[in-house]
């Protein structure tokens, strides 16, 4: 088991490395640069600025410097917001996105699992059809349609919820409801479908037949025998689900005007603030990669075929 | 190579037909015929198929349909709600309704002279100008462009991106997956590590960067998305190839001298085709969603071209006052994605009813 | 083996609703089981043997299957009419079942100890420690070395033969009156098969358990069963004491089966003999003897009516028109 964990951990490194290389390459290759939007600067000043940002050094040297900076946790200065470093900007926005993402994930998992399991146990009943139809909606309708529609219905027409804003002096937790529901919806749908299919498949397996033949009550069969096996595909899915949620924050934050990293990301992309983009990507990737690692480890714990080789 | 027919050699024995009177029927049913039968029974999937077909035909035929051009702007007709009445009347009604609101806000009971003059002028114009005879079945946007037409053309772009992207991703996935699966060993390891790493990336973010950096045109768009969409398919194909590689019929083919290429194409691929079709079908809505996502954020298709994503984006801005501008493209796109998902699910059930590949 | 009958199956019928029609998997099966007796049920695939067993314990998945008629009398009570709570008390406790594939019949996510103890604790009301001791005892009886160490392992850490031993130990741990074994050795290597069969014979003799053994192998039947039932197309075509049936098989199908086992002690002409034709598709079978297309002694009446049962003494009977006249 420890070997498994170590192996999984080691595999993180190439991924992260690749991302950093990629970030660096794009930044250097991109047309335009930190100064292209300003007026034409005289050559000496240009040279000075280039030297200041180390942009006049040969690429390999720049890369090593960049790598060193990152390992020290320094993501560089923002090209756009000249007074701030990328670190400052990101860590201002990160907690908001993390809160949004984490809540969305929890809601998706809890509701998804619950719905999926109930649907499987009451297969072909109205509960099954209702929940699975809801799930199909969840995976077919894009986030950027769900969000505005929810906003339109609940905030503009029914006026139950505030249209935008984040938690601060004026708004309490109520502001979270719409963005979290929007963001979690597609993943709730996938998890519901996945867990339903998984439970159904386990119910058909031989070892459940054995359990029934031993005279165990249906409750015991479900909670003790079915659940553990059925959960595994859902756990595996959590990695990609979280990746999707990270991506989704970009849209949801834009629609509900939440000051999070997603919105920053888009603005940075449109503004060509490369260091900010790269910083964002790296932070997102680190989080994602760590999350995948945690998922792998949890999976390893749950499946004895892995932990007891 | 033909084998001699083995007959029952017992003297005085019965003929085959008699013996097997009650036997299980041995009629060969091809995989596809069987699957089609199953698919036909699935009403939702069939419905999905019809809807998808309808969309594809409608959108492809857009240039020859009797609809207004999607770039055609008639400012006077801006922001008209969906209606079957001629635009002139709708325009008048909308304007008068607005004036009525102003009137109420100013606590009057009738129109003042300026307003009445405006109404008269409009009525005169409506009577003369043939443009006002247009019918905007789905309403117009803020520049007076017909939403029906824009949605159809938007659909064209979105569906084409979906189809072309899926085909590309599928081909790449099949190629790399088969190579990895069949070759095994270091080649396999290398390719799969590569896939694993790419899988770990938040690829949408990567795509966003690429669009921002390299410019927003359709080619970039779909190269960027296609670049990361082949992963799952490659994995699936590899899995299939690996499990089939050691199957007995491959041994048999090999023992008869078939070359590896022949084995891959004539023996392995048909078996994996079912899975490939299912995944590919489900990749199309994925692609369309990705493209719409980017367009929504302003990083995809740019004006004057429209895709469903950009239309929804425009609609979001005005949804308070003119909700149909959001709802028309949103519902159109959603309906199509629904249909494709049902179709994909149905295909999966039809081709492999005991499939474990569910998500 | 005593004379006390503990299980009576009468005219059991189990049908399945499929897209192609109604599959009459079990269509009028009757037999009796005595205390301590080992009864073999033999037949080809599709003859209805496994469905018969699942029906006895009322474990047919519904839909698509349904037990549409008959009785299964265990003692005085009809198992088919019992409410779920009561039949659960019988399962694993008075009547146990083991299945064909030991790889998939054990829950891969739970330890062996958990899986064995839950039955013992449920049916015998023992506490955890006592249950574990009993489980270890059963494992030892089943021939698992160092059971106190291995009991906490997971199924995938055992080999196929070991897993089947575990299954046997698990099924006998509550000392049931009947053990139903559905092709317990078909998925195992030949050498292991013999060991497992010996183990079953030994343990059930010691504990006085009656056994219903389902198999497609006549060799297994000859070695282990006191009585046997031969099934074809959902019905019992011949039954009786093993010796009687082997010595003088009455039904043409049984004869064909016995003849098709290659023997070293009889000079042969080099050809293997087999029963011509294929097993029947049990959907929409007409009213007739289902074996007649493959039978070389078929008469006219065989095509029209299902044969009546003829008795040959000592419990040996067969359903064939060769031995009775139509009335």
Compute the distance between CA of residue C197 and CA of residue B177 in angstroms, rounded to an integer. Answer: 46
Contact A236/B at CB under 8 A: no
**Does residue B265 surpass a pLDDT of 70?**
no
Facing residue for A308 by CB, picked from C89, C107, C157: C157
Nearest-CB residue to C99 (from A210, A228, A304): A210
- Which residues on C lie below 8 Å from A217 (Cβ)? 88
- Contact assignment for C92 to A206 by CB distance below 8 Å: no
Burial class (CB in 10 A: 0-12, 13-18, 19+), A170: exposed
pTM for this entry: 0.79
Position B2 scores a pLDDT of 46
A237-248: burial string, b at 16+ Cβ within 10 Å, e else = bbbbbbbbbbbb
Which helix (DSSP H) or strand (DSSP E) does residue C114 occupy? helix C112-124
Q: How far is the C-alpha of A59 from the C-alpha of A26, rounded, in Å?
A: 12
Answer for the pair A252, A181: CB distance below 8 angstroms, yes or no.
no
Nearest to B274 by CA among B353, B210, B211: B353
C233 torsion bin: left (phi>0), alpha (psi -120 to 50), beta (else): left
Q: In chain C, which residue's Cα lies nearest the Cα of B25?
A: C281
Distance from CA of A306 to the nearest CA of C (A): 10
Question: In terms of domains, do C72 and C113 share one?
Answer: no
Query: Which residues of chain B lie closer than 8 angstroms to C294, CB-CB?
Result: 14, 19
Half-sphere exposure of B4 (CA within 13 A, CB side): 3
Count Cβ atoms below 10 Å from residue C296 Cβ, excluding itself.
12
On average, the pLDDT of chain C sits at: 86
Closest CA relative to residue C209, chosen from C36, C32, C7: C36
Domains of chain B, start order = 38-67+153-355 (1.10.3720.10), 83-133 (no CATH)
Please indicate whether, in this complex, the C-beta atoms of B8 and C276 are within 8 angstroms of each other: yes
User: Do B297 and A254 make contact, defined as CB atoms within 8 angstroms?
Assistant: yes
Closest approach of B17 to chain C, Cα-based (Å): 9
Q: What is the pLDDT of residues B155-168, one digit of tens each?
A: 888 888 888 888 88
Taking the CA of residue A220 and the nearest CA in chain B, the distance in Å comes to: 25
Q: Is B359 on the interface with A (CB under 8 A)?
A: yes
Sheet holding C77-78, edge to edge: C21-34, C5-18, C65-74, C77-78
Tokens of C183: 């092709």
How far is it, in rounded angstroms, from Cα C84 to Cα C59?
11
C218 and C137 in a common domain: no
**CA C23 to each of CA A164, B37, B81, C64: distance values in angstroms, whole numbers, following the listed order:** 62, 21, 60, 10
| Interval A124-145: pLDDT, tens | 788 888 888 888 888 888 888 8
Across A150-159, A209-218, C308-317, least confident range: A150-159
In a domain, C136, yes or no: yes
* 3-state helix, strand and coil shares in percent for chain C, rounded to the nearest 5: 35, 25, 40
Of C67, C62, C163, the residue nearest C106 (C-alpha):
C163
The closest of C246, C209, C210, C207 to C230, measured between CA atoms, is C246
Chain B residues in contact with C278 (beta carbon < 8 A): 19-20, 23-24
Mean pLDDT (whole number) for A77-84 = 61
Beta pairing class for C227-232 and C38-42: parallel
Residues C28 and C149 in one domain: no
- DSSP secondary structure letters along C261-292: S--SSS---SPPP---S-PBP-BS--SS-TTG
Q: Which residues 6+ apart lie within 8 Å of B128 measured at CB?
A: none
How far is Cα B103 from Cα C274, in angstroms, rounded to an integer?
100
**C169 and C182 share a domain?**
no
Distance (Å, whole) CA C180 – CA B167:
54
Is the model more confident about B204 or about C104?
C104
Q: Which two tokens stand for residue B303?
A: 């004006």
For B22, nearest residue in chain C (alpha carbons) = C280
Does B326 sit within 8 Å of A269, measured CB to CB? no
Interface check for A303 against chain C (CB to CB < 8 A): the answer is: yes
Q: CA-CA distance, C323 to C78, in Å (whole number)?
A: 33
Residue C295 lies in a domain: no
Interchain proximity C293–B13, CB inside 8 Å: no
Residues C127 and C250 in one domain: no
Tell me if C294 is assigned to some domain: no
Q: In this predicted model, which residue has the larger pLDDT, A34 or C175?
A: C175
Closest alpha carbon within chain C to A307:
C154
Range 317-336 of B in CB contact (< 8 A) with A: 319-320, 323, 326, 330, 333-334
CA distance C105 to chain A (A): 4
> What torsion do the CA atoms of B85, B89, B95, B96 make, to the nearest 10 degrees?
-110
| Peptide bond between residue C63 and the one before it cis (omega within 30 degrees of 0) | yes
- Using one digit for the tens of pLDDT, what is the confidence trace for C187-220? 788 888 888 888 988 988 888 899 999 988 888 8
Looking at the domain assignment, is residue C55 inside a domain? Answer: yes
| Measured distance CA(C39)–CA(C56) in Å, rounded | 14
pLDDT of residue A192: 92
For residue B248, pLDDT over 90 is answered with no
**What ipTM score was computed for the predicted complex, to two decimals?**
0.83
Among all residues of chain B, which has the CA nearest to that of A269?
B212
DSSP count for chain B of H helices, then E strands: 14, 0
Same domain membership, residue C128 and residue C73: no
Strands C5-18 and C65-74: antiparallel
For residue range B321-348, what is the model confidence (pLDDT) as tens digits?
Answer: 888 888 888 888 889 988 888 888 888 7
Spatial separation of the C-alpha atoms in residues A67 and A73, rounded to whole Å: 10
Out of A205, A207, A213, name the one closest to residue C91 (CB): A213
Report which DSSP code applies to B130. G
pLDDT tens digits for C136-169? 999 998 989 998 898 999 998 898 889 999 999 9
Q: Do C294 and B19 touch (CB under 8 A)?
A: yes
**CA-to-CA separations, C127 to A127, C11, C169, in angstroms, rounded:** 39, 41, 19
In a domain, C134, yes or no: yes
CA angle B296, B302, B308 (to 5 degrees): 45
Task: Compute the mean pLDDT over every residue in chain B, rounded to the nearest whole number.
Answer: 76
In a domain, C120, yes or no: yes
Report which DSSP code applies to B146: B
Nearest CA of chain C to the CA of B16: how many Å?
A: 7
Contact C293 B22 (CB under 8 A): yes
How high is the pLDDT of residue B208?
Answer: 74
- If one counts the domains in chain C, the total is 2
Question: How much of chain C, in percent, has pLDDT values that exceed 70?
Answer: 95
Cβ <8 Å between A156 and B319: yes
pLDDT, position A77:
64
Q: Residue C65 sits in a domain of what CATH number?
A: 3.40.50.300
In this prediction, residue B356 has a pLDDT band, given cuts at 50, 70 and 90, of very low
The residue among C247, C273, C299 that closes a domain is: C273
Buried/exposed code over C161-180 (b: 16+ C-beta within 10 A; e: otherwise): bbbbbbbbbbbbbbebbbbb
- Helix, coil or strand: residue C151: coil
User: Among C6-20, C135-149, C236-250, C281-295, which stretch is predicted with the lowest mean pLDDT?
Assistant: C281-295
Verify that C45 and C168 share a domain, yes or no. no
For residues C108 and C249, membership in a common domain is answered with no
CA distance C102 to C170: 12
Inter-residue contact B340 to B52 (CB < 8 Å): yes
> Cα C139 vs. chain centroid, distance in angstroms?
23
Same domain, yes or no: C190 and C42: yes
| C300: in domain | no
pLDDT 10s digits, C263-274: 767 666 666 677
- E-strand ranges in chain C read 5-18, 21-34, 38-42, 65-74, 77-78, 95-98, 178-182, 210-215, 227-232, 235-241, 309-311, 317-319
**pLDDT tens-digit profile of C278-294?**
777 777 777 888 888 88
CB A19 within 8 A of CB A282: yes
What is the DSSP-derived secondary structure letter of residue C161?
H
Given C253, C273, C293, the domain boundary residue is C273
Confidence at A187, pLDDT banded by 50, 70, 90: very high
Q: Does A270 touch chain B (CB under 8 A)?
A: yes
CA-CA distance, B69 to A153, in Å (whole number)?
32
Interface size, chain B vs chain C, as Cβ–Cβ contacts under 8 Å:
38
Nearest to C276 among B13, B22, B25 (CB): B13
* pLDDT reading at B212 higher than 80: no
Do residue C130 and residue C185 come from a single domain?
A: no
Note the pLDDT of residue C180: 93
State whether C198 and C269 are in the same domain: yes
Assess whether pLDDT exceeds 50 at residue B5.
no
> Contact B293/A144, CB-based, under 8 Å?
yes
CB contact under 8 A, C123 and A215: yes
Chain C CB contacts of A224 under 8 Å are 110, 118
C183 and C168 in a single domain? The answer is no
Is the CB of residue C274 less than 8 Å away from at least one CB of chain B?
no
Residue B337 forms contact with A (CB below 8 Å): yes
Is the predicted pLDDT of residue A287 greater than 80, yes or no? yes
Mutation for testing the C interface, residue in A202, A215, A227 having most C CBs under 10 Å = A215
Structural domain boundaries enclosing C82: 5-94+178-273
Q: Does residue C87 form part of some domain?
A: yes
Mutation for B interface: A142, A183, A277, most B CBs within 10 A: A142
Distance of CA B116 to the CA centre of its chain: 50
Tell which of C118, C152, C175 closes a domain: C175
For residues B96-125, average pLDDT: 81
């Amino acid at each position: 088991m420890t070997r498994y964990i170590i192996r999984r951990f080691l595999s993180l490194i190439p991924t992260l490395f690749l991302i950093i290389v990629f970030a660096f390459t794009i930044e250097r290759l991109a047309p335009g640069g930190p100064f292209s939007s300003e007026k034409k600067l005289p050559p000496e000043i240009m040279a000075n600025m280039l030297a200041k940002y180390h942009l006049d050094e040969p690429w390999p040297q720049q890369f090593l410097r960049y790598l060193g900076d990152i390992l020290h946790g320094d993501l560089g200065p923002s090209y756009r917001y000249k007074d701030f470093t990328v670190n400052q900007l990101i860590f201002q926005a990160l907690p908001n996105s993390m809160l949004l993402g984490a809540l969305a994930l929890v809601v998706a998992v809890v509701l998804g699992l619950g719905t999926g399991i109930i649907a499987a146990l009451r297969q072909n009943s109205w509960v099954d059809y209702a929940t699975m139809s809801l799930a199909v909606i969840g995976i077919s309708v894009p986030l950027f349609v769900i969000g505005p529609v929810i906003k339109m219905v609940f905030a503009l027409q029914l006026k139950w919820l505030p249209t935008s804003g984040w938690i601060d002096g004026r708004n309490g937790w109520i502001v979270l409801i719409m963005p979290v529901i929007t963001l979690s919806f597609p993943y709730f749908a996938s998890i519901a479908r996945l867990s339903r299919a998984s439970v159904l498949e386990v119910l058909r397996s031989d070892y459940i037949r054995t359990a029934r033949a031993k005279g165990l009550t249906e409750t015991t069969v479900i909670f003790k025998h079915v659940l553990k096996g059925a959960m595994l595909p859902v756990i595996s899915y959590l990695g990609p689900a979280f990746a999707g949620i990270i991506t989704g924050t970009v849209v949801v934050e834009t629609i509900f005007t939440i000051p999070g990293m997603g919105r920053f990301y888009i603005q940075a992309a449109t503004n060509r603030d490369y260091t900010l983009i790269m910083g964002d990507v790296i932070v997102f990737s680190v989080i994602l990669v760590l999350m995948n690692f945690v998922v792998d480890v949890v999976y390893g714990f749950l499946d004895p075929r892995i932990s007891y080789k | 190579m033909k084998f001699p027919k083995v007959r029952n050699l017992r003297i005085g024995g019965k003929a085959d037909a008699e013996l097997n009177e009650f036997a299980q029927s041995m009629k060969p049913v091809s995989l596809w015929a069987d699957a089609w039968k199953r698919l036909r029974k699935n009403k939702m999937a069939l419905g999905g198929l019809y809807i998808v077909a309808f969309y594809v035909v409608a959108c492809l035929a857009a240039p020859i349909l009797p609809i207004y051009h999607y770039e055609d702007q008639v400012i006077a007709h801006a922001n008209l709600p969906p209606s079957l009445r001629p635009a002139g009347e709708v325009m008048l009604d909308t304007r008068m309704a607005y004036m009525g609101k102003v009137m109420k806000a100013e606590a009057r009971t009738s129109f003042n002279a300026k307003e009445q003059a405006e109404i008269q002028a409009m009525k005169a114009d409506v009577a003369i100008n043939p443009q006002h005879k247009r019918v905007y079945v789905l309403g117009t946007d803020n520049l007076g462009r017909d939403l029906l037409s824009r949605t159809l053309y938007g659909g064209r772009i979105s569906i084409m991106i979906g189809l072309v992207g899926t085909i590309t991703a599928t081909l790449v996935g099949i190629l790399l997956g088969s190579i990895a699966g069949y070759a095994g060993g270091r080649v396999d390891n290398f390719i799969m590590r590569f896939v694993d790493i790419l899988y770990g990336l938040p690829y949408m973010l990567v795509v966003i960067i690429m669009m921002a950096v390299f410019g927003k045109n359709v080619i970039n768009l779909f190269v960027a998305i296609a670049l990361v969409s082949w992963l799952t398919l490659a994995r699936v194909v590899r899995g299939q190839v690996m499990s089939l590689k050691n199957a007995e019929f491959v041994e048999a083919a090999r023992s008869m001298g078939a070359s590896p290429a022949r084995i891959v194409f004539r023996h392995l691929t048909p078996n994996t085709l079912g899975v490939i079709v299912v995944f590919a079908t489900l990749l199309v809505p994925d692609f369309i969603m990705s493209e719409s996502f980017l367009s929504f954020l302003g990083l995809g298709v740019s004006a004057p071209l429209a895709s469903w994503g950009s239309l929804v984006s425009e609609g979001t801005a005005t949804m308070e006052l003119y909700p149909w501008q959001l709802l028309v493209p949103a519902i159109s796109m959603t309906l199509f994605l629904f249909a494709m998902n049902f179709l994909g699910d149905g295909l999966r059930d039809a081709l492999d009813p005991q499939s474990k590949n569910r998500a | 083996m005593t004379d006390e009958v503990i299980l009576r199956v009468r005219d059991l019928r189990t049908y399945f609703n499929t897209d192609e029609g109604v599959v009459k998997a079990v269509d009028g099966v009757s037999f009796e089981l005595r205390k301590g007796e080992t009864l073999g049920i033999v037949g080809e695939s599709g003859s209805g043997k496994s469905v018969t067993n699942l029906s006895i314990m009322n474990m047919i998945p519904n839909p698509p299957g349904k037990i549409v008629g008959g009785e299964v009398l265990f003692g005085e009570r009809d198992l088919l009419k019992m409410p779920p709570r009561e039949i659960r008390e019988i399962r694993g406790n008075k009547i146990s079942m083991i299945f064909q594939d030991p790889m998939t019949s054990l829950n891969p996510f739970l330890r062996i100890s958990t899986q064995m103890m839950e039955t013992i604790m449920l049916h015998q009301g023992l506490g955890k420690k006592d249950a574990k001791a009993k489980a270890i005892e059963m494992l030892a009886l089943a021939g698992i070395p160092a059971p106190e160490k291995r009991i906490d392992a997971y199924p995938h850490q055992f080999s196929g033969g070991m897993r089947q031993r575990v299954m046997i130990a698990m099924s006998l741990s509550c000392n049931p009156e009947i053990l139903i074994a559905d092709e317990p050795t078909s998925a195992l290597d030949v050498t292991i098969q013999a060991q497992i069969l010996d183990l079953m014979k030994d343990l059930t003799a010691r504990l006085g358990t009656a056994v219903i053994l389902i198999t497609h192998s006549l060799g297994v039947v000859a070695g282990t069963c006191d009585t046997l039932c031969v099934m074809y197309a959902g019905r019992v075509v011949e039954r009786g004491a093993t010796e009687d049936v082997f010595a003088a098989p009455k039904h043409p199908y049984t004869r064909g089966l016995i003849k098709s086992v290659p023997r070293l002690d009889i000079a042969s002409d080099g050809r293997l003999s087999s029963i011509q034709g294929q097993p029947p598709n049990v959907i929409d079978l007409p009213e007739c003897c289902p074996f007649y297309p493959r039978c070389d002694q078929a008469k006219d009446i065989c095509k029209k009516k299902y044969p009546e049962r003829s008795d040959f003494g000592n419990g040996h009977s067969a359903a064939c028109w060769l031995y009775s006249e139509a009335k």
